[in-house]
Amino acid sequence: MGWKKNAWLFCLLAALLLVLAACSDDSEETGSTDSGDDSSEESSNEESDGEIYTYDFFDASGPGEDINTAETNLGKMFEEETGVNFDIEHIVGDVNQKIGTMIASGEYPTLLNAEQSTDAVIDAGGFVALNDLIKEHAPNLYNMYEPYWELMKRDDGNIYVISSGAPQGYRKPANLNQGAWWIKRDVLKELGYPEPKTLDDYFNIIEEYTAANPQIDGADTTGFTALTHDWRFFALSNQPMHLAGYPNDGGSIIDMETREAEVYGDKETTQRWLKKLNEVNDKGLFDQEAFTQNYDEYLAKITSGRVVGFFDYRWQVGQALNTLEEDDDPYNDYMGFPIVFDEDTKDQYLDPIGFTASPGMGITAGTPEEDQIRIIKYLDHIAKEETQKLITWGIEGETYEVDDDGRYYRTEEQIDETSKTEFRDQFGFTYFEWGWPRMNGEYEDGNAVEPPKQEEVASLMYDDGDKEFLESYGIETFTGLFSEPDARPWYPAYDAPIETGSEAQLYEQQLDDLMKRKFPEIIFADPSEFNSQWEAYKGEFSDLPSDAYEKVITEFVQNKAKLVEGSAE
- The CB density around residue 320, as the number of other CB atoms within 10 Å, is 20
The Cβ-side half-sphere exposure at 80, using a 13 Å CA radius, reads 9
Kindly tell me the burial class for residue 128, based on how many C-beta atoms sit within 10 Å of its own C-beta (0-12, 13-18, 19 or more). middle
Stretch in the footprint of other proteins (CB under 8 A) among 41-49, 199-207, 308-316, 509-517 = 509-517
Q: Is there binding between residue 282 and other proteins (CB under 8 A)?
A: no
Would you say 503 or 550 has its CB closer to other proteins?
503
> Minimum distance between the CB of residue 250 and other proteins, rounded to whole angstroms?
17
> Minimum distance between the CB of residue 215 and other proteins, rounded to whole angstroms?
13
> Minimum distance between the CB of residue 56 and other proteins, rounded to whole angstroms?
19
Q: Is there binding between residue 517 and other proteins (CB under 8 A)?
A: yes
Site residues for other proteins, window 107-136 (CB under 8 A)?
A: 117, 120, 123-126
The Cβ-side half-sphere exposure at 220, using a 13 Å CA radius, reads 10
Q: Is there binding between residue 63 and other proteins (CB under 8 A)?
A: no
Phi, psi (rounded to 5 degrees) for 241: -65, -45
What residues have CB less than 8 Å from 203, skipping those under 6 apart? Answer: 224, 276, 280, 285
Would you say 37 or 297 has its CB closer to other proteins?
297
Would you say 1 or 568 has its CB closer to other proteins?
1
Stretch in the footprint of other proteins (CB under 8 A) among 9-17, 210-218, 272-280, 313-321 = 9-17
Q: Binding residue for other proteins (CB under 8 A) from 24, 33, 40, 97? A: 97
Stretch in the footprint of other proteins (CB under 8 A) among 46-54, 101-109, 135-143, 144-152 = 101-109
Would you say 337 or 519 has its CB closer to other proteins?
519
Q: Cα(428)–Cα(71) distance, rounded to whole angstroms?
A: 8
Which x/- pattern, by CB under 8 A, does the window 216-235 give for other proteins? ---x--------xx------
Kindly tell me the burial class for residue 40, based on how many C-beta atoms sit within 10 Å of its own C-beta (0-12, 13-18, 19 or more). exposed
Q: Is there binding between residue 69 and other proteins (CB under 8 A)?
A: no
How far apart, in Å, are the Cα atoms of 435 and each of 96, 222, 244, 392, 519?
A: 19, 36, 31, 12, 34
Binding residue count for other proteins, defined by CB under 8 A: 41
> Minimum distance between the CB of residue 515 and other proteins, rounded to whole angstroms?
8
83 SS3 class: coil
User: Which CB contacts under 8 angstroms, 24+ apart, belong to 454-460?
Assistant: 454/407, 454/408, 454/409, 455/174, 456/407, 456/408, 456/409, 456/410, 457/409, 457/410, 457/415, 458/174, 458/175, 460/409, 460/410, 460/411, 460/412, 460/415
Query: Comparing C-alpha atoms, which of 28, 452, 357, 11 is closest to residue 162?
Result: 357
Q: Binding residue for other proteins (CB under 8 A) from 32, 48, 472, 509? A: 509
Would you say 5 or 192 has its CB closer to other proteins?
5
Judged by the rule CB under 8 A, the positions of this chain that interact with other proteins are 5, 8-9, 12, 15-16, 19, 94, 96-97, 100, 103-104, 106, 117, 120, 123-126, 219, 228-229, 288-289, 291-294, 297, 500-501, 505-506, 509, 513, 515-517, 519-520
